[in-house]
Structure 1
Amino acid sequence: MSRPKSGLVAGAVLLSGLGLGLATASPAAAYDGYCNSYVERTKTFSGTTHTAYIPSYNRSTNCYMNSGATSSAVGVLQRSLNVCYGRSLTIDGIFGPATKAALEYAQDREGIGVDGKYGNQSRDHLKWEFSHIGSLKCVRL
């Protein structure tokens, strides 16, 4: 092999190796961590302040969860999927097949990527249950 060809081959191998490394990076790497709790968010409707509970990781809503997760964060997601999307999940804090299917349903309804995983896109585009004594609203953050 001539020197120019061997240089091209070495460069191609290096670039493909870099591309492979980027392609296999975990999507969770872009998040602060797996959702392990929740935070309160408030909005005012007609002069009344309503509260929603949003999944979080150590108070940051920049978190991720998918099948197999177990936490209070899963429970608040399940509650909003039930109230805002008419699902009938048991609110048990376990992200199992039923929660994944309910999340996929909501993702499809909101016109975002349907993958059954919770992350920033789901957080920003799904409707959340904002409640106040005897009153609730389903709205985006």
Structure 2
Amino acid sequence: MRKLQGLRAKAGAVTGLMLLSGLGLGITTATPAAAYAGWCNDGYASNAKTISSVTYTAYLPGYNGNADCYMNPGADSDSVAMLQRSLNVCYGRSLDVDGVFGTNTKHALMYAQGKENISADGGYGTQSRKSLKWEYTRGGSFRCVRL
């Protein structure tokens, strides 16, 4: 009898979840991206860095002025172009700086992530922003600096 009651309870729970799911009210779990502000959609000017008494400025991917954003293949924005430029300048890649996060950008990012000994998954997020070298410019000169 107890076994039958247990089966009925499980069946009721499954039926309830199916009903909620059908209504669009299913149970979801947070993804790693939940910690980010959003999909990188614009530029973020980092604080200027002074190197040997010369002030340089870096422009990093951002989401509405917040540097904690993420990008993966399929992204298409000025933020992707900023990443591509720094991958070219600081890691010797030869990407078209077109703002499209495609296969070549993913592989170039994986290369840079491997060089910096971080997770080389080809996705851009806070760990990449903090660990990669970025192009800091002043006039026509530049430096590659880790934040």
TM-score, length-scaled by structure 1: 0.83
Highest Rg: 1 or 2? 2
Structure 1 segments unaligned to the other structure (5+ residues): 14-19
Note the C-alpha offset of 1:21.
Answer: 4.8
Residue equivalent to 1:50: 56
Matches within 5 A, 1:112-123: 112-123=118-129
Residue equivalent to 1:90: 96
Structure 2 segments unaligned to the other structure (5+ residues): 14-26
Whether 1:74 and 2:80 are equivalent positions in the alignment is yes
Query: Residues 2-30 of structure 1: CA distance to partner in whole angstroms, max 9, x if unpaired?
Result: 48xx4xx97xx9xxxxxx954xx432221
Whether 1:99 and 2:105 are equivalent positions in the alignment is yes
What secondary structure is seen at the aligned counterpart in 1 of 2:110? helix
Whether 1:135 and 2:108 are equivalent positions in the alignment is no
Query: Residues 56-102 of structure 1: CA distance to partner in whole angstroms, max 9, x if unpaired?
Result: 00000010110000000000000000000000000000000000000
Give the Cα separation in 2 of the matches to 1:21 and 1:57.
24
TM-score, length-scaled by structure 2: 0.80
Give the Cα separation in 1 of the matches to 2:35 and 2:140.
38
Give the Cα separation in 2 of the matches to 1:125 and 1:45.
19
Residue equivalent to 1:60: 66
Letter in 2 for 1:67: P
**Which runs of at least 4 in structure 1 moved beyond 3 Å after TM superposition?**
none
